[in-house]
Structure 1
């Protein structure tokens, strides 16, 4: 079951938008849950300039089946021109938690 679960992550520079992205994905059953990490400092190159910004990271727990729809939904609802979108495989964990995540991500 662990191979069915992935953690997908994005970042955004506004706490209210982070909450909306997290809540919307869970309400639409695109993810079982979403965690919002406290703000951190991001340093990155954008259009030839080094930028520094405060951002919040949203980590979604979802299934590989729901991942394409979640990615599309986040892209549509995200304010960035090129939002961060990475996925991490879940290789283990509590079977009860993983089963819950699968169930809660079903359409």
Structure 2
């Protein structure tokens, strides 16, 4: 059995494919995420400003480390077009050790 990890899956919905691709690329380029899956569009139904809303959105499934998460969250808040973007982090309890080590290595802050 493997041991618990310090890896997170972060979920973030985007208004369209162009935004999703730009955010995914930026997160990986900045080493805030090891990998981002841009998933097929989904329909979201929610309350916003006292109205029932429906929108097609493009979800991101972001793989990162616990240590990179605070900067990832700040970066997403700055670059995301929504006033309040959906940013939800879920812990990865177990996984293939070599994959988890890769995620950790890809999100290590490098010294300038």
Scaled by the length of structure 1, the TM-score of the pair is 0.97
Q: Does residue 44 in structure 1 map to residue 26 in structure 2?
A: no
Q: Indicate the structure with greater helix content.
A: 1
Match of 1:97 in 2: 99
Any stretches of 5+ residues in structure 2 without a counterpart?
none
- Compute the displacement of 1:3 (Å): 2.3
Q: Does residue 58 in structure 1 map to residue 50 in structure 2?
A: no
* Contact in 2 for aligned 1:75/1:83 (Cα 8 Å): yes
The count of corresponding residues between Structure 1 and Structure 2 is: 107
Any stretches of 5+ residues in structure 1 without a counterpart?
none
> Which structure has the bigger radius of gyration?
2
Residues 53-62 or 1-10, more deviating: 1-10
Scaled by the length of structure 2, the TM-score of the pair is 0.92
Superposition CA RMSD, Å: 0.9
Deviation beyond 4 Å, 4+ runs, structure 1: none
Counterpart Cα distance in 2 of 1:41 and 1:9? 15
